[in-house]
Amino acid sequence: MHAADNPGWSLVVPVKTLVIAKSRLAELAGPHRAAFAVAVAGDTVAAALACPSVARVVVVTGDEIAAETLGRIGALVVDDPQAGLNAALRHGAAHAVRLDARCPVAALQADLPALRASELERVLSAAGEAEESFLPDAAEIGTTFYGVRRGVPFRPRFGGSSRERHLAGGAKELVLDGVASVRRDVDTPADLADAVALGLGPRTRGVVARMRPVAGVTLIDVQATVRSFDPATRSGSVFLDDGTEIPFDAPAFDAGPLRLLRSGQRVNIAMEGDKIVYVTLSTFPLPD
C-alpha cells in the first residue's frame, strides 16, 4: 500500500469493564487491580496514538472510568454493545469506517503495557501489504493485532486459540523481528515480569510500584524523582513517573548506600506494598 493511498490506520481497542478485568492478576494487584487495568490500557492507547501511521484510536468500552481516562489521552470512545469481544471490535470498526472509509482498520489488544510506537509502526507497515493479517501473541496461541486493508471485510476471531482461527480464516500471519512489545500482552504475573523486562509505560510503571510481588517474581526496579529530603530525619518523599507522591522514612534511606539526597534527583526505589523500603540513586542497582 502506497503512503499516498493510506491516510492512516484506525485502531480499535477493546477495554473490559474494570471489575472483571485482569482476574488472573487479582492476587498480585490486590486493591490496585482496576487502576492497573486502566494504566495498561492507557499506556497501550498512548503508544498507539504516538505511532505516525495511526490516524485515530477507537476505544470500545462499557466502563465509565476507562472511557473518561482513555478519552483524555486522545482516544475516541464508543459504548460496548456487550455481545462479546469480537462483536465489540466489529462495532468499533464500523464506527471507524463511518469516520473515514479511506482508512484501513485494525484491532489491537488493550493489554500491551510495554508497547513501543516504533514497533507498532513496523507491524502496521507489514500489515499494509496484506489484505487481511494478524500478529500472534508471545505464546503464539492468541493474537494481539488483526488488521484489514480498506474495503476488506473486518472479521476478527479473538479469544482463546485465536492464532489458529485467524490462520484458518485466511488471514496472513505477520512474522516480524523486533516487535516484542506488540506481542507481549499481560494476563499473568509471569507475563507482567516479561513486560517489565521490555520496559513498562509510565502509567503501568506507577501502579506496579504499589503492587506487591508474589510467587518470588521481582517485578520492577521502580524509578522516581526526589521531591523532598530532610537530612536531620533522613526522610522525605519521591514522585513516581505518573505523578504519585510517596513518602519514605529513615529505615528506607538507611538501607541504601546514600548520605544525602537533593530535590530533583532520579532514584531507584524498592517497595513492599505501598511502603518504600530502599532508596538509591538511579545509577546504582537495587539489591537482589
Spatial distance between the Cα atoms of 268 and 216, rounded to a whole number of angstroms: 20
Domains and CATH numbers, the chain: 3-188 (3.90.550.10), 221-281 (2.40.50.140)
Q: Is 162 annotated as a binding residue?
A: yes
Query: Residue 255: which pLDDT band, with cuts at 50, 70 and 90?
Result: confident
Spatial distance between the Cα atoms of 187 and 198, rounded to a whole number of angstroms: 16
Are the CB atoms for 131 and 152 separated by under 8 Å? yes
Q: What is the 3-state secondary structure (H, E, C) of the chain?
A: CCHHHCCCEEEEEEECCCCCCCHHHHHHHHHHHHHHHHHHHHHHHHHHHCCCCEEEEEEEECCHHHHHHHHHHCCEEEECCCCCHHHHHHHHHHHHHHHCCCCCEEEECCCCCCCCHHHHHHHHHHHCCCCEEEEECCCCCCEEEEEECCCCCCCCCCCCCHHHHHHHCCCEECCCCCCHHHHCCCCCHHHHHHHHHHCCCHHHHHHHCCCCCCCCCCCCCEEEEEEEEECCCCEEEEEECCCCEEEECHHHHHCCCCCCCCCCCEEEEEEECCEEEEEEECCCCCCC
| Strands 235-240 and 245-248, sheet pairing | antiparallel
Cβ count near 153 (within 10 Å): 9
Q: Which residue has the higher pLDDT, 270 or 185?
A: 185
Rounded percentage of the chain residues whose pLDDT exceeds 70: 91
Q: Which residue has the cell 482516544?
A: 75
pLDDT at residue 259, as a whole number: 87
pLDDT at residue 273, as a whole number: 61
Give me the mean pLDDT over the 262-272 stretch. Answer: 85
Tens digit of each residue's pLDDT (9 = 90 or more) over 197-253: 888 888 888 788 767 554 344 445 578 899 999 999 999 999 988 788 999 999 888
Determine the straight-line distance between the first and last CA of the chain, rounded to whole angstroms: 49
Which residues, other chains included, contact 171 with Cβ-Cβ below 8 Å and sequence gap of 6+?
A: 130, 132, 133, 134, 146
Q: Is 143 annotated as a binding residue?
A: yes
Spatial distance between the Cα atoms of 150 and 128, rounded to a whole number of angstroms: 10
Which residues, other chains included, contact 141 with Cβ-Cβ below 8 Å and sequence gap of 6+?
A: 160, 161, 162, 163
Query: Residue 14: which pLDDT band, with cuts at 50, 70 and 90?
Result: very high
pLDDT at residue 214, as a whole number: 41
Spatial distance between the Cα atoms of 271 and 59, rounded to a whole number of angstroms: 33
Indicate whether 287 pLDDT > 60: no
Alpha carbon 273 to chain centroid, angstroms: 22
Tens digit of each residue's pLDDT (9 = 90 or more) over 26-67: 777 778 788 899 999 999 999 999 999 999 999 999 999 999
Give me the mean pLDDT over the 263-283 stretch. Answer: 81
Measured between alpha carbons, how far is residue 6 from residues 1, 2, 50, 153, 270 in Å?
A: 7, 7, 17, 17, 46
| Strands 132-136 and 76-79, sheet pairing | unpaired
Average pLDDT value for the chain:
88
pTM of this prediction?
A: 0.76
Query: Residue 6: which pLDDT band, with cuts at 50, 70 and 90?
Result: low
